[in-house]
Structure 1
Amino acid sequence: MNTAEKNHIGRKIGRIRELKGIKQLDLAERLGISQQTLSRIEQSETVEDEKLKEVAQALGVTKEAIENFSEDKALNIIGNTYHVDNSSAVNYGCTFNPLDKLMEVVEENKRLYKELLKAEKDKVKYLEKLLKEYKK
Protein backbone atom coordinates (compact mmCIF):
# COMPACT_ATOMS: atom_id res chain seq x y z
CA MET A 1 0.00 0.00 0.00
CA ASN A 2 1.56 3.31 -1.03
CA THR A 3 1.58 6.49 1.07
CA ALA A 4 -1.33 8.09 -0.82
CA GLU A 5 -3.53 5.08 -0.08
CA LYS A 6 -2.51 5.07 3.59
CA ASN A 7 -3.52 8.72 3.98
CA HIS A 8 -6.79 8.43 2.06
CA ILE A 9 -9.15 9.83 4.71
CA GLY A 10 -12.29 8.87 2.81
CA ARG A 11 -11.31 5.20 2.67
CA LYS A 12 -10.48 5.29 6.37
CA ILE A 13 -13.93 6.72 7.12
CA GLY A 14 -15.56 4.02 5.02
CA ARG A 15 -13.55 1.23 6.63
CA ILE A 16 -14.24 2.43 10.18
CA ARG A 17 -17.93 2.69 9.30
CA GLU A 18 -17.90 -0.88 7.98
CA LEU A 19 -16.01 -2.21 11.01
CA LYS A 20 -18.56 -0.58 13.29
CA GLY A 21 -21.38 -2.19 11.31
CA ILE A 22 -22.92 1.11 10.24
CA LYS A 23 -24.55 1.34 6.83
CA GLN A 24 -23.71 4.27 4.60
CA LEU A 25 -27.33 5.45 4.66
CA ASP A 26 -27.42 5.37 8.48
CA LEU A 27 -24.24 7.43 8.79
CA ALA A 28 -25.51 9.87 6.17
CA GLU A 29 -28.72 10.35 8.17
CA ARG A 30 -26.71 10.94 11.37
CA LEU A 31 -24.79 13.63 9.53
CA GLY A 32 -27.88 15.12 7.92
CA ILE A 33 -26.56 14.58 4.40
CA SER A 34 -27.53 12.34 1.49
CA GLN A 35 -26.03 8.91 0.95
CA GLN A 36 -24.51 10.19 -2.29
CA THR A 37 -22.74 13.01 -0.43
CA LEU A 38 -21.34 10.54 2.09
CA SER A 39 -20.21 8.32 -0.77
CA ARG A 40 -18.31 11.28 -2.26
CA ILE A 41 -16.70 11.95 1.14
CA GLU A 42 -15.60 8.30 1.37
CA GLN A 43 -14.09 8.60 -2.11
CA SER A 44 -12.21 11.80 -1.25
CA GLU A 45 -8.55 11.60 -0.37
CA THR A 46 -8.88 14.61 1.94
CA VAL A 47 -11.75 15.92 4.04
CA GLU A 48 -12.06 19.38 5.62
CA ASP A 49 -11.28 19.40 9.36
CA GLU A 50 -14.75 20.57 10.38
CA LYS A 51 -16.47 17.89 8.29
CA LEU A 52 -14.01 15.29 9.57
CA LYS A 53 -14.89 16.22 13.17
CA GLU A 54 -18.61 15.81 12.37
CA VAL A 55 -18.03 12.43 10.76
CA ALA A 56 -15.87 11.30 13.68
CA GLN A 57 -18.53 12.29 16.17
CA ALA A 58 -21.21 10.46 14.17
CA LEU A 59 -18.99 7.36 14.10
CA GLY A 60 -18.27 7.62 17.81
CA VAL A 61 -14.52 8.06 17.36
CA THR A 62 -12.10 10.97 17.45
CA LYS A 63 -10.86 12.88 14.43
CA GLU A 64 -7.37 11.62 15.27
CA ALA A 65 -8.61 8.02 15.27
CA ILE A 66 -9.73 8.45 11.68
CA GLU A 67 -6.52 10.20 10.64
CA ASN A 68 -4.32 7.56 12.29
CA PHE A 69 -6.46 4.53 11.40
CA SER A 70 -4.56 1.58 10.02
CA GLU A 71 -6.36 -1.62 9.10
CA ASP A 72 -3.13 -3.55 9.64
CA LYS A 73 -2.89 -2.25 13.21
CA ALA A 74 -6.56 -2.95 13.86
CA LEU A 75 -6.25 -6.53 12.63
CA ASN A 76 -3.04 -6.96 14.61
CA ILE A 77 -4.79 -5.81 17.81
CA ILE A 78 -7.70 -8.16 17.17
CA GLY A 79 -5.31 -11.02 16.42
CA ASN A 80 -3.32 -10.42 19.60
CA THR A 81 -6.29 -10.00 21.93
CA TYR A 82 -8.81 -12.56 20.68
CA HIS A 83 -8.07 -16.09 21.80
CA VAL A 84 -10.35 -19.09 21.56
CA ASP A 85 -10.18 -21.49 24.48
CA ASN A 86 -11.19 -24.87 23.12
CA SER A 87 -10.58 -26.61 26.45
CA SER A 88 -14.24 -26.31 27.39
CA ALA A 89 -17.46 -26.19 25.44
CA VAL A 90 -18.60 -22.99 27.14
CA ASN A 91 -16.29 -20.36 28.58
CA TYR A 92 -18.10 -17.23 29.64
CA GLY A 93 -15.31 -15.93 31.87
CA CYS A 94 -17.62 -15.10 34.77
CA THR A 95 -15.74 -12.84 37.19
CA PHE A 96 -18.09 -13.29 40.15
CA ASN A 97 -19.84 -16.12 41.92
CA PRO A 98 -23.53 -16.06 40.92
CA LEU A 99 -24.53 -17.65 44.24
CA ASP A 100 -22.84 -14.83 46.14
CA LYS A 101 -24.80 -12.31 44.09
CA LEU A 102 -28.02 -14.22 44.74
CA MET A 103 -27.35 -14.23 48.48
CA GLU A 104 -26.69 -10.48 48.39
CA VAL A 105 -30.10 -9.98 46.79
CA VAL A 106 -31.76 -12.24 49.37
CA GLU A 107 -30.18 -10.28 52.23
CA GLU A 108 -31.23 -6.98 50.65
CA ASN A 109 -34.79 -8.28 50.31
CA LYS A 110 -34.80 -9.30 54.00
CA ARG A 111 -33.61 -5.83 55.00
CA LEU A 112 -36.25 -4.14 52.88
CA TYR A 113 -38.96 -6.45 54.23
CA LYS A 114 -37.98 -5.55 57.82
CA GLU A 115 -38.16 -1.85 56.96
CA LEU A 116 -41.59 -2.32 55.37
CA LEU A 117 -42.82 -4.32 58.35
CA LYS A 118 -41.63 -1.62 60.76
CA ALA A 119 -43.34 1.08 58.69
CA GLU A 120 -46.61 -0.92 58.73
CA LYS A 121 -46.38 -1.42 62.52
CA ASP A 122 -45.80 2.32 63.00
CA LYS A 123 -48.81 3.05 60.78
CA VAL A 124 -51.02 0.68 62.83
CA LYS A 125 -49.90 2.31 66.10
CA TYR A 126 -50.66 5.75 64.69
CA LEU A 127 -54.11 4.67 63.48
CA GLU A 128 -54.88 3.07 66.87
CA LYS A 129 -53.87 6.30 68.56
CA LEU A 130 -56.15 8.29 66.25
CA LEU A 131 -58.99 5.85 66.90
CA LYS A 132 -58.60 6.20 70.69
CA GLU A 133 -58.63 9.98 70.42
CA TYR A 134 -61.72 9.86 68.22
CA LYS A 135 -63.60 7.68 70.73
CA LYS A 136 -62.96 10.16 73.59
Structure 2
Amino acid sequence: MSTAIKPKHIGRNISRIRELRDMKQEALAIALGVSQQSISNLEGSENVDDEKLNRIAEALGVPAEVIKNFSEEAVFNIIGNTAENSSSVVSFGCTFNPLDKLLETFEENKKLYQQLIQAEKEKVALLEKLLDKK
Protein backbone atom coordinates (compact mmCIF):
# COMPACT_ATOMS: atom_id res chain seq x y z
CA MET A 1 0.00 0.00 0.00
CA SER A 2 1.42 3.36 -1.05
CA THR A 3 1.61 6.23 1.43
CA ALA A 4 2.71 8.83 -1.13
CA ILE A 5 0.80 12.08 -0.95
CA LYS A 6 -1.42 12.60 -3.96
CA PRO A 7 -0.71 15.96 -5.65
CA LYS A 8 -3.48 18.57 -5.54
CA HIS A 9 -5.70 18.77 -8.60
CA ILE A 10 -5.33 22.47 -9.48
CA GLY A 11 -8.13 22.44 -12.07
CA ARG A 12 -10.59 21.06 -9.52
CA ASN A 13 -9.48 23.73 -7.03
CA ILE A 14 -10.11 26.45 -9.64
CA SER A 15 -13.55 25.00 -10.29
CA ARG A 16 -14.49 24.91 -6.58
CA ILE A 17 -13.26 28.45 -5.93
CA ARG A 18 -15.11 29.70 -9.02
CA GLU A 19 -18.28 27.99 -7.80
CA LEU A 20 -17.85 29.43 -4.30
CA ARG A 21 -17.57 32.85 -5.94
CA ASP A 22 -20.87 32.09 -7.72
CA MET A 23 -19.09 32.67 -11.02
CA LYS A 24 -19.94 30.78 -14.19
CA GLN A 25 -17.29 29.34 -16.50
CA GLU A 26 -18.39 31.85 -19.13
CA ALA A 27 -17.72 34.82 -16.80
CA LEU A 28 -14.24 33.52 -15.96
CA ALA A 29 -13.59 32.90 -19.66
CA ILE A 30 -14.51 36.51 -20.49
CA ALA A 31 -12.29 37.80 -17.68
CA LEU A 32 -9.37 35.79 -19.08
CA GLY A 33 -10.14 36.45 -22.75
CA VAL A 34 -10.58 32.77 -23.62
CA SER A 35 -13.50 30.51 -24.54
CA GLN A 36 -15.77 28.75 -22.07
CA GLN A 37 -14.49 25.45 -23.47
CA SER A 38 -10.94 26.47 -22.52
CA ILE A 39 -12.07 27.00 -18.92
CA SER A 40 -13.78 23.61 -18.94
CA ASN A 41 -10.56 21.97 -20.21
CA LEU A 42 -8.50 23.93 -17.67
CA GLU A 43 -10.69 22.76 -14.79
CA GLY A 44 -10.07 19.19 -15.91
CA SER A 45 -6.29 19.69 -15.80
CA GLU A 46 -4.34 18.43 -12.83
CA ASN A 47 -1.58 21.02 -13.33
CA VAL A 48 -1.59 24.63 -14.56
CA ASP A 49 1.51 26.67 -15.36
CA ASP A 50 2.30 29.51 -12.92
CA GLU A 51 1.70 32.37 -15.37
CA LYS A 52 -1.79 31.12 -16.23
CA LEU A 53 -2.50 30.33 -12.58
CA ASN A 54 -1.63 33.92 -11.60
CA ARG A 55 -4.03 35.31 -14.24
CA ILE A 56 -6.80 32.96 -13.05
CA ALA A 57 -6.16 33.88 -9.41
CA GLU A 58 -6.42 37.57 -10.28
CA ALA A 59 -9.71 36.99 -12.14
CA LEU A 60 -11.09 35.03 -9.17
CA GLY A 61 -9.85 37.66 -6.71
CA VAL A 62 -7.68 35.30 -4.68
CA PRO A 63 -3.92 34.78 -4.36
CA ALA A 64 -2.47 31.96 -6.47
CA GLU A 65 -1.41 30.22 -3.24
CA VAL A 66 -5.07 29.90 -2.25
CA ILE A 67 -5.74 27.95 -5.45
CA LYS A 68 -2.67 25.76 -4.95
CA ASN A 69 -3.47 25.00 -1.32
CA PHE A 70 -7.28 25.00 -1.52
CA SER A 71 -8.98 22.66 0.91
CA GLU A 72 -12.71 22.21 1.33
CA GLU A 73 -12.11 21.41 4.99
CA ALA A 74 -10.54 24.85 5.46
CA VAL A 75 -13.55 26.49 3.79
CA PHE A 76 -15.94 24.66 6.09
CA ASN A 77 -13.81 25.68 9.08
CA ILE A 78 -13.94 29.33 8.01
CA ILE A 79 -17.71 29.13 7.50
CA GLY A 80 -18.14 27.40 10.86
CA ASN A 81 -15.95 29.93 12.66
CA THR A 82 -17.67 32.95 11.10
CA ALA A 83 -21.11 31.49 11.83
CA GLU A 84 -20.19 31.21 15.50
CA ASN A 85 -18.54 34.63 15.67
CA SER A 86 -20.52 37.01 13.49
CA SER A 87 -18.29 39.96 14.47
CA SER A 88 -15.49 38.56 12.30
CA VAL A 89 -17.37 37.83 9.10
CA VAL A 90 -15.04 37.22 6.18
CA SER A 91 -16.02 38.55 2.78
CA PHE A 92 -15.10 36.40 -0.20
CA GLY A 93 -15.81 39.03 -2.84
CA CYS A 94 -18.06 38.79 -5.88
CA THR A 95 -21.55 37.54 -5.01
CA PHE A 96 -23.16 38.37 -8.34
CA ASN A 97 -22.76 37.41 -11.95
CA PRO A 98 -20.93 40.26 -13.73
CA LEU A 99 -22.74 39.49 -16.98
CA ASP A 100 -26.11 39.95 -15.29
CA LYS A 101 -24.98 43.33 -13.96
CA LEU A 102 -23.78 44.33 -17.42
CA LEU A 103 -27.16 43.42 -18.94
CA GLU A 104 -28.96 45.39 -16.22
CA THR A 105 -26.80 48.41 -17.03
CA PHE A 106 -27.59 48.13 -20.75
CA GLU A 107 -31.32 47.97 -20.01
CA GLU A 108 -31.11 50.98 -17.71
CA ASN A 109 -29.19 52.95 -20.35
CA LYS A 110 -31.79 51.98 -22.95
CA LYS A 111 -34.62 53.32 -20.76
CA LEU A 112 -32.74 56.55 -20.09
CA TYR A 113 -32.07 57.01 -23.80
CA GLN A 114 -35.78 56.50 -24.59
CA GLN A 115 -36.69 59.10 -21.96
CA LEU A 116 -34.20 61.51 -23.53
CA ILE A 117 -35.70 60.96 -26.99
CA GLN A 118 -39.22 61.55 -25.61
CA ALA A 119 -38.11 64.80 -23.95
CA GLU A 120 -36.54 65.99 -27.21
CA LYS A 121 -39.73 65.15 -29.14
CA GLU A 122 -41.78 67.16 -26.66
CA LYS A 123 -39.36 70.08 -26.97
CA VAL A 124 -39.61 70.00 -30.78
CA ALA A 125 -43.42 69.86 -30.60
CA LEU A 126 -43.47 72.88 -28.28
CA LEU A 127 -41.14 74.85 -30.55
CA GLU A 128 -43.29 74.00 -33.59
CA LYS A 129 -46.37 75.30 -31.74
CA LEU A 130 -44.57 78.53 -30.91
CA LEU A 131 -43.50 78.98 -34.54
CA ASP A 132 -47.03 78.29 -35.83
CA LYS A 133 -48.42 81.07 -33.59
CA LYS A 134 -46.16 83.69 -35.18
TM-score (norm 2): 0.58
Matched, 1:56 2:57: yes
Gaps in structure 2 of 5+ consecutive residues = 87-134
Please report the RMSD computed on the Cα atoms of aligned residues, expressed in angstroms. Answer: 1.9
Q: Which amino acid aligns with 2:30?
A: E
Letter in 2 for 1:28: A
Structure 1 gaps of 5+ residues are 86-136
Identity %: 54
**Greater C-alpha Rg:** 1
Match of 2:32 in 1: 31
Q: Which residue pairs with 1:10 in the alignment?
A: 11
Task: Tell me the amino acid that sits aligned with residue 43 of structure 2.
Answer: E
Relative contact order higher in (CA < 8 Å, ≥ 6 apart):
2
1:66 aligned partner, one-letter code = I
**CA displacement, residues 37-91 of structure 1 (integer Å, 9 cap, x when unaligned):** 0001100000011000000000011111111110111111111221399xxxxxx
Output the amino acid matched with 2:9: H
1:37 is matched by which residue type in structure 2? Answer: S
Letter paired with 2:49? E
State the shift of 1:3 in Å: 4.2
Other-structure match for 1:45: 46
Provide the residue aligned with 1:80 in structure 2.
81
